[in-house]
Structures are given as C-alpha cells and as structure tokens.
Structure 1
Amino acid sequence: MGKGRLEAFSDGVLAIIITIMVLELQVPDGSDMDSLVALLPNFLSYVLSFVYVGIYWNNHHHLLHAAGRPSGAVLWANLNLLF
C-alpha cells in the first residue's frame, strides 16, 4: 500500500473530528452582546482545538511526504495516533 492511501485515511479522520467539533457550537439566544459573550468560552475552546488539530495535520502531512513506503508497523502506529 502506498502512502497516499494512508494520508487520505488520516485526512478523512481529521476532517470528521473537525466536523464533530463544530457541531458543539451553539447559536446565541439573543442578538445582544451579552448573548455572544456567554458563548465566548465555547468558541475559544473550539478555536484552540482547531489549531491543535491543524498543527497535528500539518506535522502528519510533512512526515508522510518525507517518509518512504509505509510498513505494517507504521500503519498500526498511525491508527494508534488517530485513536
């Protein structure tokens, strides 16, 4: 198996993680500033989580481009990291 399939699978898992994270964001109850301020902790948590997942994806992308053909051990290690 080439590294393209491994990269595509990992990208798919990370895309699902980002999608699930955004589902936790709520619509404000009102249209005033207090309603938005009440949601600020959840929004900041989402932003920090998104940055963390983005850093992980970027490092994973560069690592796979530097690597050769993945072995079975690499496939299992990648599954472990995605878990």
Structure 2
Amino acid sequence: MSKERLQAFTDAVLAIIMTILVLELDRPETMSFEGFWSLRASFFSYALSFFWLGAMWVTNHNEWHFVRKIQPSTVWWTILMLFFSSLFPYTTSLVDTHFNNAFAQGFYGIVVLLVTFANVMLSQSLVKADPDNEQLAQGGLLGLGGIWFDVAIKVAGFIITVTLFAPAMMLAVLLTMIVFVIPAHISMAKRNY
C-alpha cells in the first residue's frame, strides 16, 4: 500500500468522525442565551474533542510529509488509531450529559490514552520502516521527550479523574494541546515558511 492511499483513508475517516461529533450535540430547551449557556459543558466537550482530533490530523499531516516508506504494521496501527478515534463521538456524548461523572470522564480518558498509544506505535512503525529517515527518528512533531510529557500529563489527568476531580481528564487534554501540540505546530510552521 502506498503512503498516499493510507493518508487519504485516514483523512476521510477522521473527517467523518469530526463531523459526527457535532451531530451528538444537544439542542437547547429554550432558544435563549440561558438555553445555550446550560449546554456549556456540551460545547466545551465538543470543541475539545474536535480540536484534539484536528490537532492529531495536522500532526499526522506534518509528520507524513517526511514518510518515505511504510510497512504492514503501519497500516494496522493506523486502523487501530482510527478505531479508537471513532469512539470519540460516543465518549464525548457521555461526557456531555455527565460532565462531572468520574466514570464518563475516565472512559473518555481511556479512549484518549488508547489513541495516543496507537499514534506512538504508528510513529515507531514508521521509524522501523525507514530507519535512516532523520526527521522520523527524532520523534516527530513533539520530539521523543515531548511525547512522554504529553503521555504523562494524560495519565496524571486520568488518575486524578478517577480519584479526585472528574473533569481533570479533559483539562489534561486541553493542557497538552496548549503546552505541547499548538506551540510545536507554530514552531514547525515558522521553520517551513
């Protein structure tokens, strides 16, 4: 399989998942500011999930620019990443209706961690397919150190979610986007333009 075909498939599936997210949003009981304000947790959950998936798409796009070879494990890690990503509309809808519920937030966190793990393994499969590729060997967008901080924050968010403060998982995802992902994308854009 060519990298272009796998990339096109990934783009299509992520676009569908991101579109389905909006279909899960509740409608306000009354068409007023108060009606929409009562759905603020739903809109936050939707926006966070949408932008996290969007950031993942941009990251994949930027990293795949340097990919020259793929191997069968790359295809299967991509399929696994997309499978876990496809659970986002469901887990986001659970968090929408049970924002302060540790189980709902924990389930969301498990999906985030599984997608993150699949992405790390996907990156590793790309390095194994092309070990001489310096761009891939450096650990992609976040670098080898950055990805482990990203994972550590998400794991800490999950632990805090299931023990002390239910929304901690979503806050951990937001924190990793603000501290690691967005600055890395800005830095990469400055280097490339």
TM-score for the superposition, normalised by structure 2: 0.41
Q: Which residue of 2 aligns with 1:22?
A: 22
Q: What TM-score comes out, normalization by structure 1 length?
A: 0.89
**Which aligned runs of 4 or more in structure 1 are off by greater than 3 angstroms?**
none
Cα deviation code 1:7-62 (max 9, x no counterpart) = 11001110111111110112322222211111111011100111110111011111
Question: Which residue pairs with 2:13 in the alignment?
Answer: 13
Note the residue ranges of structure 1 that are not aligned, 5 or more in a row. none
Q: Which residue of 2 aligns with 1:35?
A: 35
> Kindly, what percent of the aligned residue pairs are identical?
40
CA distance in 2, matches of 1:14, 1:57: 7
Distance (whole Å) between structure 2 residues aligned to residue 22 and residue 70 of structure 1: 33
Instruction: Provide structure 2 residue ranges, at least 5 long, that are not aligned to the other structure.
Output: 84-193
State the AA in 1 paired with 2:26.
Q
Letter in 2 for 1:18: M
* Number of corresponding residues: 83
Across the aligned residues of Structure 1 and Structure 2, the Cα RMSD in angstroms comes to 1.2
Greater relative contact order (Cα < 8 A, sep 6+) = 1
